[in-house]
Structure 1
Amino acid sequence: MFQVGDWVVDPHGSIGYIEQIHGFQVRVKLVRNKFGKKTNQINHYYINELSPTPVEASEKTQILSIVDIALDTNDRDWFFELTERMGTE
């Protein structure tokens, strides 16, 4: 099941992370819309409407996209993990 901080994809294809969980409802801060453009939106969903975000990327282009999300959310540890990983692929 999901936890606070997990990255998810909403039913429309937008990417964000879970800020709060209240029973079967979750509050998600969206950082990218379905077109890949930056957004700063808060939405509420039922937990079964969300899918986990595939963060395991093997190609550099996919990793670069994820690095953008890490930068947008000021997640320093994740940024360093991803950039280190790019050097090994």
Structure 2
Amino acid sequence: MMSNHNAILKTGDWVKGKSRDGELIIGYIENLEEGMIKTKVISSDNKTIEGKIIPLQSKQVKKMPAAKVANKEQIHFLIDLALSTGDEEWFFELSTKLNSMRELVKDVK
């Protein structure tokens, strides 16, 4: 775990920030080591760094709030994102939530 001006950062947290070159970045923490945050870039205004892991300092990033999932379409989108990022734990968490929603609907019919 590492602390920055906003929150305690840990592996798997979603962050947004800017690189040393001023590029906007949205991604998740792949690893924390020696004061550096290894961030897997999912989206950036520099498309050439998307999908890469880049080192950032904690002062360069801000932890993103947890998503409030309200409907089935949002869960499907997040499941696709979990699959594309290889986050198995998140995938199973979202799949469980989706199945719970399906069960609720089935019980209403």
Is TM more than 0.5 here? yes
Return the alpha-carbon distance in structure 2 between the equivalents of residues 13 and 62 of structure 1.
22
Higher helix share goes to which structure? 2
Determine the structure 1 residue equivalent to 2:27: 15
Asked whether 1:6 is paired with 2:13, we answer yes
Conservation of the 8 A alpha-carbon contact between 1:3 and 1:21: no
Shift of 1:29: 1.5
Determine the structure 2 residue equivalent to 1:80: 92
For structure 1, list consecutive stretches of 5 or more residues without a partner in the other structure. none
Aligned AA for 1:21? E
Runs of 4+ in 1 over 3 A off after TM superposition: none
Return the alpha-carbon distance in structure 2 between the equivalents of residues 42 and 20 of structure 1.
12
Shift of 1:28: 0.8
The RMSD of aligned alpha carbons is: 2.6
Return the alpha-carbon distance in structure 2 between the equivalents of residues 57 and 34 of structure 1.
23
Question: SS of the counterpart of 1:78?
Answer: helix
Question: SS of the counterpart of 1:10?
Answer: strand
Q: 1:17 to 1:86 in 2, by over 3 A?
A: same
Question: SS of the counterpart of 1:14?
Answer: strand
Task: Count the aligned residue pairs.
Answer: 85
Alignment TM-score, normalising by the size of structure 1:
0.67
Aligned AA for 1:72? S
Q: 1:40 to 1:21 in 2, by over 3 A?
A: same
Return the alpha-carbon distance in structure 1 between the equivalents of residues 44 and 67 of structure 2.
16
The percentage of counterpart residues that share the same residue type is 25
Shift of 1:34: 4.2
Conservation of the 8 A alpha-carbon contact between 1:9 and 1:51: yes
> Highest CA radius of gyration, 1 or 2?
2
Q: 1:49 to 1:63 in 2, by over 3 A?
A: farther
Determine the structure 1 residue equivalent to 2:81: 69
